[in-house]
A and B are shown apart, each in its own frame.
Chain A
Amino acid sequence: MTTNELLPLLVLLSSLLPGLVIFALPEAWHGLRTTLNLFGAVAKIVLVGLLLAGVQAGEVYGFRHVVAPGLELVFKADALGLLFITLSTVLWLFTTLYAIGYLEEAPHRSRFFGFFSLCVTATVGIAMAGNLFTFFVFYELLTLATFPLVAHRGTPDAKRGATVYLGYTLVGGAALLAGIVWLESLAHHTGFTHGGFVATLLPGNEGGLKAIFVLLIAGVGVKAAIVPLHGWLPKAMVAPAPVSALLHAVAVVKAGAFGIVRIVYEVFGVETAQALGLLTPLAVIAAITIVWGSLRALFQDELKKRLAYSTVSQVSYIVLGTALFGPIGTIGGLVHLVHQGVMKITLFFAAGNFAETLGIHKISEMDGVGRRMPLTTLAFSLAALGMMGAPLTAGAVSKAWLGDGAVAANMGWAVWVLTASSLLNAAYFLPILWRAWVRKAPTRWPEEHIVRRGFVETHWLLLIPPLFTAALTVLFGLLPADMASPLSWAQMIAGREYLLPQR
C-alpha cells in the first residue's frame, strides 16, 4: 500500500479507531477519554493538512476496496471533497472541545463520544466517497451513528425526536438506494466524474433518468431538510447542544447538501441536468424552502427551534446555488456550504451556553443576557448578523455571489427570494439582539448553573469554540479573496466544473 493510498484511509481511521476504543472505556476514565478524543481530532487536522498540501502539489490520493465483483468502495480526495472534509474536521475539533465542557459530569459519556466519533467518520467518508455506492454506505452509517446521539438524553421527548428523525432518514435512504441501483443497472458504474457520466445514456432514457434524479435528490434531500422533507429537523432539537451543532452545521444537513452538489455536478453534470429540465424545478423547491423556513422561524419562541427553522432555510441557499445554471451561482452555493456551517455552529454553541449557564431556552427569557454573558452574546450577534447577510460578514459574501449567479442564470426571481429571506432573517434575529443587548435583565435567571467569575462568564471550554467560529465568520467576510478563503476554493471548484480558465 503506497502513501497515497494510506493517507485517505488514515483520515478515516483517525476518528474511527479512537471512537471504537472510547466505547469500551469505563465511564470514570475521564482523562483517557478526553485525550483520545482530542488526539483523534488533532491527528485528523494534521492528516487533512498533509492531504491538502499534497493535492496542491499535484498528488492524487485514492484508495479502493472491492466488496463484490463490480462493486467497490472508492475513496478519493478531490477539491470538492476536501472543502467539506476541511470544514468538518476543523469544526469537529471545536465541537469536541465544546462537548467535553458541556457534558462534564453527565452520564453515558463513553457512549456519547463513541457515537460522536463514528458520526465524524461517516461525514469524512461521505466527503471522500468516489462513487455513489461508497457515498450511500457512509450516508446510512451517519444515520445510524446520529440516532443514539439524538436519543441520548433518554427522555420520552428524546425518544420521540429520535424516532421521527429515523423515520425520515431511513425512508430517504431507501429512495436513495433505489435510485442508485437503478442508475447502476443502466450505467454499470456509479463513479463520480467531472461533468457527470449520464450524458451517454441520454437517448431513449430521458424518463428513467428524470425518475432517478428525483429518487436521488429526494434521498439526500431528507438530510438537507428540503421542504417538505424537513419535518425531522425541528423535532431533533431535543438533542444536547453539541449534537445540534453537529446535525446543523457539520454532519447531517451538510451531508445532504453535499450529496446534492455531487449528484448535480458529478453524476448528472450541470449541462445534462439543464438539458433534462431538472435544474429549474430544483431551484424552485430550494426557493420555497428558503422562504418557508424563514417564515416558520419567525413564530418560534424556543431559541433552538428558531435556529432549526433558520437552518432549513439557510441550507437551501446551497441547493439554490447548485441549481442556478452557471459558474457564479455554483460558487455562491459552495461558499455557503462553508459559511453556513461556521455561522450556524456559532449560534448553536451560544444557544447551548445560554441554556447551560442560565437555563435560558426561550427567546422571551433572553432579556438583558448581553450584560451577563457579553462574550457569548457577541459571538451570537456576529453570527446572526452574518445570517442576515450584513456587510463584512461571511453571509454577505454568500448572498452577493448567489444574487449575481441568479441574474447570470436569467432567474431574476431568485434575487427576490434572497432579498425576502434576508428581510425575514433580520425580522427573526434582530428582536433577539434587541432583547439581549438593550432590555433590562430580570432579577433572577431561570436556572443559573454556572456562576460568573471575573471575565469568565461560563465554563472556558464552552466559551472558546463560539468565539473562534464567530471570528471566522468575520474573517471570511473581511478577506474573501485570500488564497486560503472558502471563496477562492469554491472558485477553483466551479472553474473545473464549467471548464473556465482559473484565475
Chain B
Amino acid sequence: MTERFVMLAPLALPLLILLPLAWAALAFVLGAGRGSRLAIAAAAVQLVLAFALAAAVMDGGPLHHAAGGWGAPLGIDLVADGLAAAMLLLTQAVALPLFIFARGYFHQDGAHPDAAGHHFWPLAGFLVAGMNALYLSEDIFNLYVTLELVGLAAVGLVASGGGAAQTAAALRYLFAALLGSGAYLLGVALLYGAFGSVSMVTLTPLIASASASAGAEAAEVALIAALLMVAGLLMKSALFPFHFWLPPAHGGAPAPVSALLSALVVKASIYLVLRLWLGPLAPLLTPLAWLPTLLGAAAILWGSWQAIHAERLKLLVAYSTVAQLGYLFLALPLVGVGSTGASASAIVTLQALAHGLAKAAMFAAAGIIIHATGRDRVDDVAGIAERLPLTLFTFALAGVSLMGLPPSGGFLAKWLLIDLAMARGHWPLAAVILAGGLLAAIYIFRVLRLAFLNLPEAMIEAEHHKARVVPRSAEWMAFALAAASVLLGLFGGLPLLQLVDGVGAGTP
C-alpha cells in the first residue's frame, strides 16, 4: 500500500501543475455549480499527490522531472526537495477544505452565486497552479513566470468582489505586485548577463567564486541583482514597511479569497526569499541578514499594534498576517541547528504551515461571523458564543496557534525559534518573539471576551430574525483547518522537520 502510494510521486510533479490548470479552464466553461464540484474533487486528488510526493522525498531525497523529456539546460526541470514538498503539502492541505468552505459560502442561498462566486473557481485554479509551479521550479526565470501568474490571479480574485473599495485595493495590490516582480525580473536579467545562466544549480558556484574574488565586476553586478531580486520579493511578501497593500486587499476581499491570499499567496514569495537567500545568493547576502530580521521584528510589533486597534474584524485578521509574516524573517541570521537539532529553514517552514492553516481558519470564521451578523465591526461579535459556538471555537483554536500557545503548531515553531535564538545568543530576538505572542493574545482575546458577553433578550430576538444561515459544511471546514493547525504541534512537527532537514540530520 505505502509502496504504491510512493510510486505515485514521480507523476505528482507534472500533475500538480497540470491538474489545477485543467480544472481552472473547465470551471470557466462549466460555470460555478459544476466547476466548484470539479475543483473540490481535483483538490482532493492533489492532496493525495502532495502526500505521496512528501513521503517519497522523505524516503529517497529530492525528485526530478524533465518536462517533455527535455532536461535542463535546454528544457525545463521540475524539482521537489523537502522544503518544496512541505510547501506543496501546505498549499493542497489548505486548498481542499477552503474550496469546500467556498462552495458553501458562495452558494448558500440557492444555486446562484454572485459575481465573486463565478470568478472564484477559474481564478483559484490558476492561482493554485501558479503556486505549485513556483515550488517545483528550479530556475530563476521560470520562477518569475510563476510569480506573475500567482500575482495576477490574486489581483483578479481581490477585484472579483466588484465594490469600489475592493477595486481600489486590487489596483493598489496590482501596483505593488508589478513593482515587485519588475524589480525581481531586472535582477534575473542582470544575473543572466553576468553569468549566462538562470539555473539555480549552475548559478550557485558561479556566484560563490565571483564573490570570493573581491573587486570583480561580476561580483558587483551580482550584488545589485541580488538586492533588486530580494527587494522585489519583499514587496510581494508584504514585509514591513512594504505591507501597505496587504490589509486593504486581504481585509476587503470575500472571505474565501482573503483566506487563500493570507494563508498561501504571501508564503510563495517568502519561500522564494528563503530559497535564494540560503541558496545561490547566500555569499552575497549573508552579511545583510540582520536587515530582514530587523524588519521582521518591526512587522511583528507594528502589525500586532494595528490589529489591536483595528475596528473591523477582517482588518484585524489581516493585520495579524502582517505581524505573523514577521516571524518568518526572524530566522535568517540563525542558520544552523539549535539545541533541539532543527534547522532554521525547517522551523520557518513549520511556522509557515501553522500560520497558513490557522489564518485560513480564522478568515473563514471571520467570514461566517460577518455573514451571520451582517456587520463587520469587531464590537459586533458581542454575544456570538450563543449563536455560532462552533465558529467561535474555530476562531479561538486558530487564535491559539497564532498566539503560539500549546499544543499548537505555532507554539512548537515559536519554542524552536526561541531555542535557536538563545542557543546563538540572540537575546533580543527571543524577547521579540515572546512579546509578539503576548500582543497576539491581546488582539485575539479582544474578540473572544466580547463573544462571551450576554446580550439582552430583546436584542437576541432581533438578531435571530436577521440571521442568515451559513451551511454547516462551511463551519466544519473552517473548524477542520483550525484543528489541523493545533494538531500540527502534537503530531506534525517531527515528520515535517524531518522532511525539510532530511531524516537523521541535525542531531545536536
Contacts and interface: CB of A to CB of B under 8 A. Distances in A.
A170 interface: yes
A71 B415 contact: yes
17 contacts: A67-B491, A69-B340, A69-B497, A69-B498, A73-B490, A108-B385, A111-B385, A140-B406, A154-B383, A159-B449, A159-B452, A162-B449, A166-B441, A177-B415, A178-B430, A182-B422, A185-B339
B416 A68 contact: yes
B339 A188 contact: yes
B406 A181 contact: no
B508 interface: yes
B165 interface: no
Given A137-B406, A174-B434, A178-B434, A69 B449 contact: no
B494 A67 contact: yes
Contacts of A163: 445, 449
B438 A185 contact: no
Contacts of A67: 407, 412, 489-491, 493-494
A137 B490 CA distance: 11
* Closest CB pairs A-B (n = 10): A154-B454, A70-B340, A137-B406, A69-B341, A185-B422, A151-B452, A68-B493, A174-B434, A181-B418, A185-B423
B508 A174 contact: no
B398 to A, nearest CB: 13
A148 interface: yes
Interface of chain A, helix or strand or loop or mixed? helix
A57 interface: no
B489 A70 contact: no
Nearest to A141: B406
A265 to B, nearest CB: 24
A136 B494 CA distance: 19
Interface of A: 23, 65-71, 73, 108, 111, 133, 136-138, 140-141, 143-144, 147-148, 151-156, 158-159, 162-163, 166, 170-171, 173-174, 177-178, 181-182, 184-185, 188
Contacts of B489: 67
Nearest to A156: B453
A144 B416 contact: no
Given A141-B407, A144-B405, A159-B452, A68 B441 contact: no
Contact of A68 (B340, B386, B430): B340
Contacts of A162: 449, 452
Given A68-B494, A141-B406, A163-B449, A188 B508 contact: yes
Contacts of B383: 154
B260 to A, nearest CB: 28
A70 to B, nearest CB: 4
B438 A70 contact: no
A387 B437 CA distance: 40
B419 A181 contact: yes
A78 B508 CA distance: 29
A67 B495 CA distance: 9
Contacts of A177: 415, 418, 434
A140 B419 CA distance: 18
B438 A69 contact: no
Interface string B383-416: 1011001000100000010000111000110011
B342 interface: yes
B507 interface: yes
Contacts of B256: none
A108 B449 CA distance: 16
B61 interface: no
Nearest to B425: A185
Given A68-B416, A70-B508, A181 B422 contact: yes
B180 interface: no
B338 interface: yes
B506 interface: yes
A148 B434 contact: no
Contacts of A184: 339, 419
A162 B423 CA distance: 36
A66 B494 contact: yes
Contacts of B497: 68-69
Contacts of A178: 418, 430, 434
B454 A70 contact: no
**Most chain A CB within a 10 A radius of its CB, from B340, B389, B416, B437:** B340
A153 B385 CA distance: 12
A322 B415 CA distance: 29
A343 B506 CA distance: 52
A69 B342 CA distance: 7
B412 A68 contact: yes
Contacts of A153: 454
Nearest to A175: B434
Nearest to A177: B434
B338 A185 contact: yes
Contacts of B339: 70, 184-185, 188
Nearest to A153: B454
Interface string B439-462: 001000100111011100000000
A22 B508 CA distance: 43
B408 to A, nearest CB: 10
A116 to B, nearest CB: 15
A467 B126 CA distance: 69
B250 to A, nearest CB: 26
Contacts of B423: 185
Contacts of B430: 178, 181
B420 to A, nearest CB: 9
A144 B400 contact: yes
Interface in B337-378: 338-342
B508 A155 contact: no
B169 to A, nearest CB: 33
B389 A111 contact: yes
Contacts of A148: 452
A177 B419 CA distance: 10
Contacts of A147: 445, 448
A67 B437 CA distance: 21
A187 to B, nearest CB: 9
Nearest to B422: A185
A276 to B, nearest CB: 21
A138 B407 CA distance: 8
Contacts of A173: 405
A147 to B, nearest CB: 8
A427 to B, nearest CB: 37
A170 B404 CA distance: 11
A111 B449 CA distance: 15
B225 to A, nearest CB: 36
A184 B422 CA distance: 9
Given A71-B340, A111-B385, A185 B419 contact: yes
A138 B454 CA distance: 29
A126 to B, nearest CB: 12
